[in-house]
Chain A
Amino acid sequence: MLAGFLGIGGGIILVPMMTGLLYLDQHRAHGTSLAIIVPIAMMGTVVYGLRGDVNWEWVAIIGAGSVIGAVVGAKLMMRVPAYRLRQMFGVYAIAIAAILFLR
């Protein structure tokens, strides 16, 4: 539940927490994690927005790409078996760990 911690997104903690502690299956953990990220990102946007740290031009461009990507990714997930999702998530977690060590 240490979401948003140190500027790192919540999903990387939420997903393993839900599969490991709450025994949710991989597909549902990914979907539920995304739903929880919505209010977290909303709060963050308000805080950064009030400080004037949100450049809406960049949001529009990055957002256009990422919203399309999210639709593709969410639909694609249904075709990926749970073990493959775990492998992908594992690689992602190790990559982030490596970046954290190196920075």
Chain B
Amino acid sequence: MKVSCLQENLNKALGIVGRAVASRTTLPITNNVLIATEDSKLKLSATNLEIAITCWFGTVVEEEGAITVPARLLNEFVSSLPSGRIDLKLTDHSLHLECARVEANISGLDAEDFPPIPEVGDGLTYEIAPEDLRLAINQVVFATATEDTRPVLTGVSAELEGDTMTMAAADGFRLAIHKAPLATPAKEKLEVIIPGRSLTELGRLLAEQEEPVLIAVSPTKSQILFRLNDVTIGETKARVELVSQLLQGTFPNYRQLIPQTYSTRAIASTSDFLRATRTAAIFARDGSGIVRLQVMTGAQDQPGKISISARSEQIGDNVGEIDAEVEGEASKIAFNGRYVTDVLGVIHEDNIALETTTPSSPGVIHPIGSERYMHIIMPMFVQW
């Protein structure tokens, strides 16, 4: 192998695939990054056997070849180099690099032994706008479970059907549902569970792209591929593919959990609500994070209110009030404050609606002016 490319391009590309390099592993070669030539491009791949990221970008290829070298070492070395041209050459079992007046040899392992990046093949394919995908990930992933007593809950359920992709995450205490439009209608319905971690990584890659993201799923539904055709690295555009293992199992039937009616509906400013909840949360820290909401109806020209309070036997207590447009009866409900701040923090619309029925039935929060998002929080059991 003999190729040359720009330091800034190589550096950025290594940063992208580096996210998939294994940290603790039983297969040592997965600490390495695969460097290979392909169609007069340089291809970098890394996999931790859960997520694999591959990046192709333009270079001058004089001689074909492939090798794997320790990812961290290469990354550190390349980022320490001045910008400009780097020459890479394969000699026996090591990679020779030259840049300006610096030379290095990094010994590597045979590319043959690198775990093949899963081929997704001609399975089902879908397309979605990068911005829509990013918003969906952002509004849903945080509600996945972190511990894996039930692995499916660490993932996001994704259903692609017609012209909509529905993503949902639930950890047993909250449920986030986002419906995003597909760029082209789905030919066939797809239901998969994608690990939350994989979507977080995908979210990082989604930035200023314009071309739709291609989604494909292997026939056995073991892997899902996301292809981004125009990721900016340095001065050029690169193709990046992220392949993730899919979680196996059945996702809870979350539609059953969506309350069909409400007895109180309060519309309030997202930012006011967020600020008041954050304040209350300070006082809720040692009381299981319990934040109490009381919705009060307005009278004549007085607007309704939501009072947001927390108390702790040791620290003291706090009450805040925000204006709200209240429909229905007065109500009270207690939530874990963090769950409320989590959801309010990802809603970009100015106002949200809070819908409740009884103190022990789930509360619903959704943005006003968008039908895409709905978030359900289980209340906590408290003595009022």
Bound together: no
